[in-house]
Amino acid sequence: MITGSSQMDGAILVVAATDGVMPQTREHLLLAKQIGIEKIVVFMNKADAADKEMIELVELELRELLTQIGFDGEHTPIIPGSALYALE
């Protein structure tokens, strides 16, 4: 993520809906903030394998974390989906 990052304007963060926020999620967001990335889009993968409640809980957790780190957690796009379904 860091190599060549000085030219990046934004980033895509992928989080599994079945696992939620993991320690490396926080680390990646902190790194993104430190190198000056201002815009983040979150893809919540494996949404097909998680129930609606879990997806909502992970989204809330992500928005709180984004805000804590200094991103606009309220307006950051969080897109649920399935990479597996996209390949089929």
pLDDT in tens, 26-50: 999 999 999 999 999 999 999 999 9
Which pLDDT score, from 0 to 100, does residue 68 have? 98
Q: For residue 88, what are its two tokens? A: 């089929």
Q: pLDDT tens digits for 55-69?
A: 999 999 999 999 999
Which pLDDT score, from 0 to 100, does residue 6 have? 59
Element (H, E) at 11: strand 10-16
Residue 78 CA from chain centroid, whole number: 7
Which pLDDT score, from 0 to 100, does residue 87 have? 84
Question: Which domains are assigned to the chain?
Answer: 5-87 (3.40.50.300)
Q: Are 70 and 44 in contact (CB under 8 A)?
A: no
